[in-house]
Amino acid sequence: MNIKFLFKLLRNLNSKTFDKGESIIKEGDKTNNVFYIRKGLVRSFLINDKGEEITFQLFAEKQLFGNVHTILFDEPSKFTFETLEKTKVYFTDVKTFQDLSSDNLDFQKMDSRIFGRQILKQAFQRIDSFVFLSPEKRYQQYLKDYPNMINRVPDKYIANVLGITPVSLSRIRQRISKKKY
Amino acid sequence: MNIKFLFKLLRNLNSKTFDKGESIIKEGDKTNNVFYIRKGLVRSFLINDKGEEITFQLFAEKQLFGNVHTILFDEPSKFTFETLEKTKVYFTDVKTFQDLSSDNLDFQKMDSRIFGRQILKQAFQRIDSFVFLSPEKRYQQYLKDYPNMINRVPDKYIANVLGITPVSLSRIRQRISKKKY
DNA sequence: TAAACTCATTAACAAAAGATAATAAAGGTT
DNA sequence: AACCTTTATTATCTTTTGTTAATGAGTTTA
């Protein structure tokens, strides 16, 4: 990655800090930004037909996130993205992201590598966990993959991400702790 | 999309027909091809620690597939891709795919749109279905999304894709047929 | 400080899923 | 046609999950 490119990147990168509980993207928005979390915690969720909030995904430091429904399919966001802690993000709109890509081959690789890759990798790992693992194993896998998440986030959010109810997650935790002997 | 580009695409595109039951990609392979199904049916699967084949995904006409583990992460394929019917595919290796992309802006859009998009869209829809839907609803959703699949593929493969056992899928089918009155 | 709220746990019951095995139906092979 | 194989269904039993509600710990708010 050359210096010229780095300057261009820096010229186009914005940063912003959100307080705990603020919405970065709201359901229905058509924002095109790609966000990088410098510090903090974000969850995406929607409200289902029963009026319940269902958490779809959790993002922490060094992770990229964005409104995939708009970025990839030009549709309004199905999810709201809300901070669970005071959160500092770097961001730029996807067009700039793509302009940088076509100017710079290194960045083009990064484009697919960082944005596409990271998101695809997470997506595939997650589908894997639903297809190949029981809820109990899936929880243990999640603990391994995101060991710090459990201490920063209410269990009910984790339960949603794993596709089970909070009550069931609580029972799984109990079962695991009994098995430890 | 201009004519020059079309010719270049055609020069680089291969086609091949596989008999029923042949493997297009084998677990452990590091093939870099992107495949487009002209006619036929393909399933990806792996063999778990109990020696059982678990089907991960099913692909039919007009769908793209490829060895994501190699293409995206430069790792050997976790899955075997096997035809369930006599299958004709067009394919080209990802490098050519990417060379074409950098030569041609239209194709660059297509690159992320067709390959990235289609795969990401499917991946997200699938995660959605695990997070927001019960197995029963998930099956009904699958029927809607892939209405012809059910007639071409053994139920046990569908069950794997939905993350449930074949026995459980059979019960779901029975339950649904009773509810129809 | 007291009241209100959020969240994890636990209980009780119903519903659904996993595991295993037996049976039946359908396809393919010799 | 007779045989073998594969697959879907059904039954039985066990385990797990969903649902609802009650409890209690911990936080937040007035």
CA proximity to B98, closest of B157, B48, B33: B33
Assess whether pLDDT exceeds 90 at residue B12.
Answer: no
Considering only residues 154 to 173 of chain B, which have any Cβ-Cβ distance to chain A shorter than 8 Å?
160-161, 163
Q: What is the reported pLDDT for B58?
A: 96
Identify from B120, B121, B137 which residue to disrupt to test chain A contact, counting A C-beta atoms within 10 A and taking the largest count.
B120
Q: What is the reported pLDDT for B71?
A: 83
Task: Look at A120 and B124 and tell me if their CB atoms are within 8 Å.
Answer: no
Nucleotide nearest residue B166, measured CA to C1' = D8
Least confident of A28-37, A99-108, B9-18, B128-137: A99-108
In A33-166 the beta strands, taken as DSSP E runs, fall at 33-39, 42-47, 53-59, 64-66, 80-83, 87-93
* Six token digits for residue B154: 């053994």
Q: What is the reported pLDDT for A102?
A: 55
Structure confidence at residue B112 as a pLDDT band (50, 70, 90): very low
Structure confidence at residue B156 as a pLDDT band (50, 70, 90): very high
> How far apart (Å, rounded) are the C-alpha atoms in residues A80 and A28?
8
Assess whether pLDDT exceeds 60 at residue B104.
Answer: no
> How far apart (Å, rounded) are the C-alpha atoms in residues A157 and B125?
20
Q: What is the reported pLDDT for A108?
A: 45
Max mean pLDDT among A50-64, A91-105, B84-98, B167-181 falls in A50-64
Q: What is the reported pLDDT for B43?
A: 96
10-residue mean pLDDT profile of chain A (181 residues): values are 67 90 96 92 94 95 90 91 95 74 50 61 94 97 94 96 98 87 55
Q: What is the reported pLDDT for B168?
A: 97
Domain A3-132 has CATH 2.60.120.10: yes
CA distance A151 to chain B (A): 22
Q: Distance between terminal CA atoms of chain A?
A: 52
Q: What is the reported pLDDT for A109?
A: 47
Q: Which residues of chain A have a CB within 8 Å of the CB of B74?
A: none
Q: What is the reported pLDDT for A64?
A: 86
Q: What is the reported pLDDT for A1?
A: 53
Task: Look at B131 and A163 and tell me if their CB atoms are within 8 Å.
Answer: yes
Type and span of the H or E element at A128: helix A118-132
CB atoms within 10 A of CB A120: 19
Assess whether pLDDT exceeds 50 at residue B53.
Answer: yes
> How far apart (Å, rounded) are the C-alpha atoms in residues A141 and A139?
5
Q: Which residues of chain A have a CB within 8 Å of the CB of B97?
A: none
Domain spans of chain B? Answer: 3-132
Higher model confidence: residue A23 or residue B116? A23
> How far apart (Å, rounded) are the C-alpha atoms in residues B143 and B78?
27
Q: What is the reported pLDDT for A120?
A: 82
CA proximity to B36, closest of B88, B81, B71: B88
